[in-house]
Amino acid sequence: MEKSRYIAIEGPIGVGKSSLAEFLAKGLNGRTLIEEVDANPFLSNFYADIKKYAFQTQLFFLLSRYQQQKGMFQQELFSSTVISDYLFAKDRIFAYLNLDENELGLYEQVYRLLDTRIPKPDLVIYLQASTDVLLKRIGKRNKEYEKNVKEEYLEKLVEAYNRYFFYYSDTPLLVVNTSEIDFVNNPADLTNLVKEIKKMKGGSQHYIPLTAR
């Protein structure tokens, strides 16, 4: 992983993307690129009524992610390692999950214009967790706009993520099962995970922590 200048961390809501990004940035003397989720004015309404607010929410995220990544990489010019808590391409996971046919057609036009202008990561880390574990972690975070997250929606999201990354081949990929580890509060879990990330050289690999076997 010595040549990884841009690492993106992905996974469903509550899996620990931002926390891992912060830990890795400190360990690798890099900078974080944290998605500004709280800035989306449609998010609370989206979780309360997905069908009604899906398009506004999705388009806001797409444009916000584009502006954020474009600004960061123009400034950084890859002079230091960048650790992002999202992959720009994952935006389509939510789009295909939540938008109707007409909305999706318009969304795809905008997405294709923007996607080619965003650099691809040197490494993507996909964090997995069961729906039960995600619900517990979301509850602990106690964010107001997440209180309406429904188990049924979360299950569909986990399935969509797994399906997306099963076929993913754009960059090197490390898949990590986090259901039975706690790298936020357990230093040993974090140390072992970081070791695995540093060993990553290419292709697609799966890491199942010892405690989960």
Q: Which carries the bigger pLDDT value, residue 146 or residue 193?
A: 193
Q: Which carries the bigger pLDDT value, residue 28 or residue 3?
A: 28
Determine whether 170 is an active site residue. Answer: no
Does residue 70 belong to any structural domain of this protein?
no
Does residue 60 belong to any structural domain of this protein?
no
Does residue 59 belong to any structural domain of this protein?
no
Residue 168's CATH number: 3.40.50.300
Q: Is the pLDDT of residue 213 over 50?
A: no
The alpha helices in the chain, defined as continuous H runs, are 17-27, 43-48, 50-76, 91-98, 101-115, 131-141, 151-166, 187-199
pTM: 0.90
Does residue 146 belong to any structural domain of this protein?
yes
**One of 85, 91, 122, 189 is an active-site residue; which one?**
85
Domain span at residue 164 reads 6-37+77-93+118-212
**Per-residue model confidence as pLDDT tens digits over 16-39:** 999 999 999 998 888 899 998 889
Number of domains in the chain: 1
**Per-residue model confidence as pLDDT tens digits over 165-201:** 999 999 999 999 999 899 998 999 999 998 898 888 8
Please give the torsion angle defined by the CA atoms of residues 189, 191, 197 and 201, in that order, rounded to the nearest 10 degrees: -130
Which pLDDT band, with edges at 50, 70 and 90, does 61 fall under? Answer: very high
Mean pLDDT of 46-75: 90
